[in-house]
């Protein structure tokens, strides 16, 4: 029976039933566990924060100056408001420059004058069903930055994010058993700007596809891999396993602005974030 089915659809390539994007009303404990163990590729939650809250955060950001990620490493350029540890990494460790930059970033976010901390709202909504909730991670007892607003209008190259490979020792004070990337879209472009995730994790041979001096890889690195694509929508949150190669497509029209941070699941069962 199965053979007959296959010959009726000679083009059909079997797909991994575990590699799909699930759309759910909230980040429940079971869904986050599914993502941690690889039972889905990503979780999206429409209307993650109230529309009025998203509009208010966006309004404050739109009139604030964004900075560029290091232009040597990040081409085409990506703009950001706030600081991320990726720009303050030195020989596989957090550079000393990160700590004052993280403090300046917290001050800049406070300076927006919002009556709440947008990242705290996101952590609260992410952690409603998680025992102990979600908190900001620490390194050497010091709290890391809570996250950034990112604006990749020209896209992100194909890349992966994995603290285990970016840092020689545990990034946080507790070892991590899983890693996630969180994005909350506040403004989306008219065309393009899709997030693509490939069913492919880093392999040493992938380095032959590395773009010189860059965080990214040529798209040939994921040539044969299955992929899923998410078109961002305002107010929607996306949680993915960033160890899978992923990219953001270039866009046109409105700015593509998202709140973003990394999140890890510690060996103690805690969900810990960092920017």
Choices 8-16, 91-99, 202-210, 242-250 (CB under 6 A): range interacting with ligand AKG: 242-250
260 binds ligand AKG per the rule CB under 6 A:
yes
149 binds ligand AKG per the rule CB under 6 A:
no
Contact 241, 164 (CB under 8 A): no
CB nearer to ligand AKG: pick between 76 and 111: 76
CB nearer to Fe ion: pick between 114 and 225: 225
239 binds ligand AKG per the rule CB under 6 A:
no
Q: Shortest gap between Cβ of 119 and ligand AKG (angstroms)?
A: 14
137 binds ligand AKG per the rule CB under 6 A:
no
Q: C-alpha distances in angstroms, 211 versus 140, 208, 249?
A: 33, 9, 17
Q: Shortest gap between Cβ of 134 and ligand AKG (angstroms)?
A: 16
Q: Which residues bind Fe ion (CB under 5 A)?
A: 161, 242
Q: Which residues bind ligand AKG (CB under 6 A)?
A: 156, 161, 181, 183, 195, 238, 242, 246, 248, 258, 260
């Amino acid at each position: 029976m199965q053979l007959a089915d296959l010959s009726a659809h000679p083009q059909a390539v079997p797909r991994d039933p575990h590699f799909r994007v699930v759309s759910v009303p909230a980040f429940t404990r079971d869904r986050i566990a599914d993502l941690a163990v690889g039972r889905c590729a990503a979780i999206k939650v429409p209307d993650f924060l109230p529309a009025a809250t998203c509009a208010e955060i966006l309004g404050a950001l739109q009139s604030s100056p964004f900075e560029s990620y290091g232009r040597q490493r990040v081409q085409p350029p990506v703009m950001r408001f706030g600081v991320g540890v990726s720009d303050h990494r030195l020989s596989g460790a957090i550079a000393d420059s990160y700590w004052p930059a993280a403090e300046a970033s917290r001050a800049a976010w406070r300076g927006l004058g919002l009556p709440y901390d947008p990242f705290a709202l996101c952590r609260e909504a992410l952690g409603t069903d998680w025992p102990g909730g979600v908190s900001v991670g620490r390194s050497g007892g010091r709290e890391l930055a809570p996250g950034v607003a990112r604006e990749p209008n020209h896209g992100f190259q194909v890349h992966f994010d994995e603290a285990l490979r970016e840092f020689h020792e545990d990034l946080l004070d507790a070892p991590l058993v899983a890693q996630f990337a969180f994005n909350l879209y506040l403004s989306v472009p008219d065309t393009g700007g899709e997030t693509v995730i490939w069913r492919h994790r880093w392999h040493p041979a992938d380095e032959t596809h590395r773009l010189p001096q860059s965080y990214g890889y040529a798209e040939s690195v994921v040539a044969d891999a299955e992929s899923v694509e998410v078109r961002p929508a305002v107010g929607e949150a996306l949680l993915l396993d960033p160890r899978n190669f992923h990219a953001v497509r270039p866009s046109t029209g409105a700015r593509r602005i998202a709140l973003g941070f990394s999140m890890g699941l510690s060996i103690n069962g805690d969900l810990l974030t960092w920017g």
